[in-house]
A and B are shown apart, each in its own frame.
Chain A
Amino acid sequence: MIEIKNLHKSYHMGKNSLHVLKGINFSVSEGEMVSIMGSSGSGKSTLLNILGILDEADEGSYTLDGTLIKNLNEKVAARYRNKFLGFIFQSFNLINYKTALDNVSMPLYYQGVKRNIRTEKAMHYLEKVGLADWAGHLPSELSGGQKQRVAIARALASDPKVLLADEPTGALDTKTSYEVMELIQGINDEGKTILIVTHEEDIAHMTKRIVNLKDGLIIDDSPVNQVRAKTESYV
């Protein structure tokens, strides 16, 4: 599903140049659930941005679902993002003047899906994350956990190949975090490929594989025994 070879990326700030990724080789196959760990500055967010086609690598190749991602113009990049990827952010990034339902149907809008079909699909995904009753509410009327679940529904709406989650539980308390992780695990059980960037050990152990980054290099990449996030046991 994801194939990365010898990926390099540096940032230039004035005269200083910061070499963030120093040759990453990494692949994810379909249905995997991988967490990327590392201390801050290890390059994990940069890696996620490149994986999300939000940023481009200086060197190396990135193949997503058999498509080489290189030198894309913004229009094609936008189409690929829409088709291949679903994003989940730490700060939810919902559009605050749109209802939960409108937020979820947004990727479908950019796909050019007709209005009634869009609403139907969005409603389906809201039901899936258990927020059907909140469809008409604005993000400001939802709790953090609910917001993140709306964001997950939105990420799923366009039926992407890969879900990319950047610290999905970073802004949530433990209980809510586990609820969200349970949801994500459920999505993975249905066969969706998921990548999670996190620095929380317990969250990482809820995935099936942990990739450890340090100073722009992968220092460890090993499968783990997945801990199921059964919320009941923590209540």
Chain B
Amino acid sequence: MSKIFSRDSWDEIIQALSSNWFRTVMTAFGVLWGIFILVILLAAGNGLENGIKQGFNGMATNSMFMWSQTASQPYKGLPKGRRYNFKTDDVTAIKQNVPGLRFVSPRNQLGGFRGSNNVVRGLQTGAFDVYGDYPEIIQQQPMDITSGRFVNYSDIKEKRKVAIIGSGVRSALYEPNEEVIGTYIKINGVNFMVIGTYKKKGNNGDPEEMQKEIYVPFTAFSQAFNMGDVVGWMAITAADGYSITNLKSQVFDVIKTRHTINPNDDRAVGNFDLYQEFTKIQGLFTALNFVAYFVGILVLLSGIIGISNIMLIVVKERTKEIGIRRALGATPWSIRAQILLESIFLTIVSGMAGIALATAVLWLVNYQLSTMDTSEMMFINPSVNIGVVFIALTILIVSGLLAGLIPAQNAIKIKPVEALRTE
């Protein structure tokens, strides 16, 4: 074994490989290309995954949104097509009857897509989405509070008419350097004091529209806009260790019982299961990763077959040389080791070059990306971790060994006499 690390063996290998430079480089290119493709594919998948996940940026993915629709089946004397509304009592009932829920946030909304002007400040007016919310919502749909604070429970309890406005609202209603905290805005004719500003990140939906929202305490909203105990919709998040997808039917059951809806009526409660969507995306990336490995390894395989092929030719070409070496006292094992080492060396060196090249390309891409604002991009930080590089290296060593095996076996099958006879 000590021979593997001696300078002599390496001299032999370098000499043998450098005796035909062009061919060595061409052969090495196959493996280089294979590992390059493998690394780039994995990194690209990673970049896409990073980009998409940025869209979920801190969002509680184990969540669903639930809203009321019309009953689609008659039940207990009530007709079908009947409208109903969630009530504030439903929230408490859900919290009590369904274990494993982290947040149940009732929400109400004013305005909406292309709504008319509903907010006034002095001479400025604007159309914005106004939400009545509980403090938990910031943990379900995160936003950065850039100044002031968000809604708290004192606001809820005392029904304070306070508002947190987005940067889009601020730029529409205020001068650029004006102080916002403490000023008043009039929402549908009711004055609210601005106590905070926010900025949202991510690429889910319209990034510009997301900054044009106003958050006020849920209770103040209900009172100011005459909602009574009506709840527009709910954002429900399951606790860690539970899946909202499994819990949601229990939530629906509570709602159906309380509103006298046929238990088999699947259309009465509308919902959007974020967790299910997230799982789907997660699955997509697992599949993408698999495809990257599959394609990468196949391309690598063709490179390895190339090496094996060339080594066969090399053995054939060096039949005479091997004969001479045998005559001079080379043991079969030393011949085999030489061929194997040549093959492994060639594979590893070209593989390393491939990894280095891929790293360089990724560095360039990352450098380009870093000069841009990536907060709204679908592709961020394409990279592979060190583990993948080690996997690739292991694949290389094993495949170098495999590539050399048949040629090495061929080499020791050559009888010295026959080898010397070839003129």
Contact = CB atoms under 8 A, between A and B. Distances in A.
> Do A and B bind?
yes
Interface of A: 49, 52, 54-55, 74-75, 78-79, 81-83, 87, 89, 91, 93-95, 97-98, 106-107, 109-111, 115, 154, 158
Given A54-B416, A78-B326, A115-B7, A95 B321 contact: yes
Size class of the B contact interface (CB-based, 8 Å) = 20 to 34
Given A54-B417, A91-B423, A110 B330 contact: yes
Interface string B306-344: 000000000000001101111111111110000000000
B188 to A, nearest CB: 90
Interface of B: 7-8, 15-16, 19, 320-321, 323-334, 412, 415-417, 420, 423
Contact of B332 (A74, A83, A107, A154): A74
B334 A110 contact: yes
Contacts of B420: 54, 89, 93
Contacts of B16: 97
Most chain A CB within a 10 A radius of its CB, from B332, B415, B420: B420
Given A93-B324, A110-B330, 12 more contacts: A49-B417, A78-B326, A81-B328, A83-B329, A87-B328, A93-B323, A95-B321, A106-B325, A107-B328, A110-B328, A115-B8, A158-B328
A95 B324 contact: yes
A106 B331 contact: no
Contact of B329 (A79, A89, A94, A98): A79
Contacts of B417: 49, 54-55
A122 B321 CA distance: 19
B8 A78 contact: no
B332 A98 contact: no
A81 B332 CA distance: 13
Nearest to B326: A78
A97 B329 CA distance: 19
A106 B328 CA distance: 7
Contacts of A111: 329
Nearest to B320: A93
A98 B328 CA distance: 15
B204 to A, nearest CB: 64
Contacts of A82: 328-329
A74 B331 contact: yes
A115 B423 CA distance: 31
Given A91-B423, A93-B420, A98-B15, A107 B329 contact: yes
17 contacts: A49-B417, A54-B327, A54-B415, A54-B420, A74-B332, A74-B412, A75-B333, A78-B332, A79-B331, A87-B327, A89-B420, A91-B423, A93-B324, A106-B325, A106-B328, A115-B7, A154-B328
A110 B320 CA distance: 17
A97 B321 CA distance: 10
B327 A81 contact: yes
A83 B412 CA distance: 21
Nearest to B412: A74
A207 B326 CA distance: 28
Smallest CB-CB A-B distances: 10 pairs: A82-B329, A110-B329, A97-B19, A78-B331, A54-B417, A107-B328, A54-B416, A74-B332, A93-B324, A75-B331
A22 to B, nearest CB: 20
Contacts of A52: 327
Given A93-B324, A95-B324, A78 B423 contact: no
Contact of A158 (B321, B326, B329, B331): B329
A94 B321 CA distance: 8
A75 B332 contact: yes
Contacts of A107: 328-329
A109 B321 contact: no
Contacts of A98: 15
Nearest to B321: A95
A78 B328 CA distance: 8
Most B Cβ at <10 Å: residue of A79, A95, A158: A95
A187 to B, nearest CB: 18
Contacts of A75: 331-333
